[in-house]
Structure 1
């Protein structure tokens, strides 16, 4: 029997999945996707699958992957999704299929406790505050019992804690085999488990970090894997370009300075003037930030010539020169004590590498790349390729082709949203996958009866100063009727603050609704509270969010029944990377607006709308507070990209739909769980 036949049999009504899970419901789209994945695994090649919400894409690729008996690499967008795959979906499915599968979870080194760095942190007198001291004590206690060292397993650890960088390693500060704690290294233990496993779960950041520097352990792992599957693949391009260029941040410089000073005073006090060296590097980082001043605050600053726009050439050049001198002096001082302690060898390498990066940013940018400054409290110098197409073609699809069975290597890329045309060009072109087989599997949800979309009448134009206030007013009225159950998604942080503050002011002291705003709590805590809704006598919730909340947030049932989007999510036209991509399309004789801006907006709009209906029993409304969706010609294309919801014609229809939600809302009971 072929692998495709085996996979299809597993998804049959009387198949193994139906016998193993009461909630399993056969879906034609899920079975078709599983068949396509099975064919690709069996025959080799590249498959791109857009699987709409509710298809059950996770099991659609896991079933044929496990049944194949091949070594499999699974890459996800985030560490949270990694944990879900490794901790829930894979074990559940392997048990259902009766397969003895050895699984491993591999994250970047920043996710694991470093025993050596923990020891150094104990002796660091510069912890920021008492809270950090208490957190460090909890980490020490947890370190005595953890087997994996994965910080995600530590209860109550805030992912934003300033202690985390102090107790984890980076590629720059890891001592490798020279580390006195090498035998107990959690990173190396995770890599050893990965090399011995049948299925390895990684994330896109780790994958592209390895493509860039060949250091994450993937260099040994990837050649032994014949099947690679990338879930949430819509994030691949933007993740990849972060790693395939050059970066230099003042945060990196300050971390190096702190580590050099701590190691110098601990292991070689009096042999080198560590205070002077550290002061020089710290001053160099500070002066580089000061050279930019207030220019482009909180944004990306264009950098097309020798000097970034809005920055004084003399001050910029002097700051780079002084920084390079300070780093070279630090490297010289570290070299003189390198035989005393392995830390000094690694610190010397870091100083030399940072000096090289400074020198690289004084030279011209590489052809086909774009430069910019990320300007905030810290400063980050970035040089990036425009996309990952060349890297994927040269480093990924050609990997291992010298082997006999190289042509049978299988690559699968899947996500709920990959484009708005039949060939999914939004995804395939920048990822170098134009020749891939493409499959689009529609959602099984009945959107026409489950959801409706409304574009409010009389809404101010998107750039009108009163637009955010109007969004907040509409949200306030709707939230009061629903008692919460609302997510407001904004396209900018400025709108996030404006809408969030307005709603908090309107609901302050009423006890009606709790207004949650991104940034005020950790993301995980915000989502947990929002999912709780009014359970246990709590007030209902409205969540105002931007950026990462547009995707990957799953709130089934009636905890979320209204999604309000403030504006059409076009890319920011002044962004240097957006400008460079637009200019490249113009040189190719193509339309940047039609071939880049509209597809980007269509995909983002689809992702935002995808928060609404997560189960067959869900009911909800989508409100897009941007009149361009119905007044501009491209609006038809954007509406066509949305799930096939019914349209609400006017305010009265919207009010009736809201009233219907308040009358009929019931919690989903797990029917048709999309993971199956």
Structure 2
């Protein structure tokens, strides 16, 4: 028995510390592979299917190792779960001497200086922000870590948050008058002193992007790096290795300058006028884009005369704004910081007007009020792979969905880690007994108008057969979700929850509490959602999750692939769709006692040659083309629940 495997025995300290723990061979195999990688300073990619227990499989060897470690999760919610729930009991049982801390991005911590600054001129803020500011001030008197997640009385997207947190752009750093009391500085200090730091992928890449230009210092140098939910890494890396500038950033800069005019430089009337001019040009800039929120190809869109003129006005007002602030340099620290941000914004703005450069996708995205321009690299393998190769650390990547038919080449190629060892571990669940996969016969093609009626019919039949259980209906587009939601509300009295009506956490809690509800969701509900037992016994997926053909980033990657002489469909479009379907299907069976039905409403999974790759990557559920058979299985589950 190895030093690692003894910790996964029925009589181990781990088993005593964790109620309901039972040994799992795949979990032990994964832990031993990670321990070997830690010793060799190597790279390991592990697909550990649902039920393997991958979290404990990487935590035990990390806790037992001598060096420092960084664990990165896909989302802040998973980051908090790991730090507050999974790590404490395990650390106490295995390595009580280890110091563990949580580190989030800058915008998650209260900025005392900005709170004081905005409190001093609260009358200039909206009524909503004024009320929320009162709540923040009360909370600030009792918080110990300054983590705004503790502001439970405010919504996650509260309007006040940008006024009481900082960004890289507006932080004064060591020049801040309350630097010694800064919650972010304290959190970074704890991270530097800790043995294990828990971060998330966005924070990791934000720091890595800063390191690339010589300023990265958020995350301490670690001997081992573990990435959970690693399938998200290529897309997140692309975001941080690119450039972006949005009208919201520029608007906030102008608003801050107006506040400084009212409070600090009251004689500089020209600053107020320059800020107003910038705000007007930004409003006009938004108006040249389509009213509905969307993504589009910036390289093409910018050729229009009205867009050229609106961009020219933004450029002119930005430069005038900069020139006015330049006349007052040295009078006020906050104004000096605004000037520096403005200079940087102008540089980025000009850079993103130059779309003739190759190797990037130039695209825009809009919200009802704002526009963001993006420059995204089409490949991150060289940069990320080079970073890994130069490092002396061990690198571990794990997720339930990394391989396509047990092949990891797609993932390792995207990240440039093709020398990594790989390991594919099956789930201990008895999928063939616990669940059923149904692809109903005689369905219309996904693009046909009749698909809406077919999807609605299948959903209503499922609800009739599943009176005591919950149902997820997962969509690849918001448009189809809204159409089905509108029609379904007219024909069912079942509790119904629709993504976007309230925040995700509250929506999910209400769905579970209802016990037999139906939830309609898009991308964010395809992964990272854990509903066990009778609360979720059926998952319906509207179609195979290929990327939208008009997505400008996808279009650019397809074109780049063609130029390299490769097949865009097999290399660019197919792999992420397979991974996404695996994620969606993974919502169904989350426990040894779970039972349920997965219904995929897309004939292409059985009629197209590539369908075999989708099916081969799904859990080995019992399969049927007969919807009635799937409904009967649901009725059996419901009968057992009633009994």
Structure 2 length normalisation: TM-score? Answer: 0.96
Deviations 1:595-638 (A, max 9, x none): 23222221111000000000000001001111111222221221
Match status 1:514 vs 2:495: yes
Matches within 5 A, 1:209-288: 209-214=206-211, 219-220=216-217, 224-288=221-285
Residue 11 of structure 1 deviates from its aligned partner by 1.1
Whole-Å Cα distance in 1 between the matches of residues 244 and 414 of structure 2? Answer: 21
Q: In the alignment, is the contact (CA less than 8 A) between 2:17 and 2:89 conserved in 1?
A: no
Match status 1:500 vs 2:491: no
Matches within 5 A, 1:305-384: 308-309=300-301, 313-377=304-368, 378-384=370-376
Deviations 1:494-528 (A, max 9, x none): 01111122222223xx4xx1110000011110011
Q: Which residue of 2 aligns with 1:573?
A: 549
Matches within 5 A, 1:186-205: 186-205=183-202
Q: In the alignment, is the contact (CA less than 8 A) between 1:392 and 1:432 conserved in 2?
A: yes
Q: In the alignment, is the contact (CA less than 8 A) between 2:191 and 2:220 conserved in 1?
A: no
Q: Which residue of 2 aligns with 1:672?
A: none
Deviations 1:356-400 (A, max 9, x none): 11211222454311111113321111001113212212334314x
The 3 A distance-change label for structure 1 pair 618 and 216 is: farther
**Residue 452 (structure 1) aligned to one of 432, 436, 449:** 436
Report the secondary structure of 2:115's partner residue. helix
**Residue 491 (structure 1) aligned to one of 476, 481, 486:** 476
Deviations 1:414-465 (A, max 9, x none): 1110131433123111111111111111111110000101112222210112
Match status 1:135 vs 2:116: no
Q: How many residues align?
A: 640
Match status 1:176 vs 2:173: yes
Q: In the alignment, is the contact (CA less than 8 A) between 1:628 and 1:635 conserved in 2?
A: yes
Whole-Å Cα distance in 1 between the matches of residues 225 and 605 of structure 2? Answer: 38
Match status 1:621 vs 2:597: yes
Q: Which residue of 2 aligns with 1:395?
A: 387
Bigger Cα displacement from structure 2, 442-451 vs 419-428? 419-428
Whole-Å Cα distance in 1 between the matches of residues 533 and 635 of structure 2? Answer: 17
Report the secondary structure of 2:483's partner residue. helix
The 3 A distance-change label for structure 1 pair 106 and 218 is: farther
**Residue 528 (structure 2) aligned to one of 552, 567, 584:** 552
Whole-Å Cα distance in 2 between the matches of residues 233 and 218 of structure 1? Answer: 25
Residue 238 of structure 1 deviates from its aligned partner by 0.8
Unaligned runs of 5+ in 1: 400-405, 535-539, 668-676
Q: Which residue of 2 aligns with 1:413?
A: 397
Match status 1:300 vs 2:300: no
Whole-Å Cα distance in 1 between the matches of residues 100 and 27 of structure 2? Answer: 24
Bigger Cα displacement from structure 2, 155-164 vs 100-109? 155-164
Whole-Å Cα distance in 2 between the matches of residues 216 and 443 of structure 1? Answer: 42
Q: Which residue of 1 aligns with 2:62?
A: 65
The 3 A distance-change label for structure 1 pair 67 and 666 is: farther
Q: In the alignment, is the contact (CA less than 8 A) between 1:44 and 1:410 conserved in 2?
A: yes
Q: In the alignment, is the contact (CA less than 8 A) between 1:48 and 1:439 conserved in 2?
A: yes
Q: In the alignment, is the contact (CA less than 8 A) between 2:230 and 2:398 conserved in 1?
A: yes
Q: In the alignment, is the contact (CA less than 8 A) between 2:112 and 2:164 conserved in 1?
A: yes
Residue 561 of structure 1 deviates from its aligned partner by 0.5
Deviations 1:201-258 (A, max 9, x none): 1111111111223499993465631111111111111111111111011111111111
Q: In the alignment, is the contact (CA less than 8 A) between 2:365 and 2:371 conserved in 1?
A: yes
Report the secondary structure of 2:402's partner residue. coil
Bigger Cα displacement from structure 2, 234-243 vs 596-605? 596-605
Residue 568 of structure 1 deviates from its aligned partner by 0.6
Whole-Å Cα distance in 2 between the matches of residues 628 and 128 of structure 1? Answer: 51
Q: In the alignment, is the contact (CA less than 8 A) between 2:245 and 2:345 conserved in 1?
A: yes
The 3 A distance-change label for structure 1 pair 264 and 365 is: farther
Whole-Å Cα distance in 2 between the matches of residues 319 and 339 of structure 1? Answer: 32
Report the secondary structure of 1:292's partner residue. coil
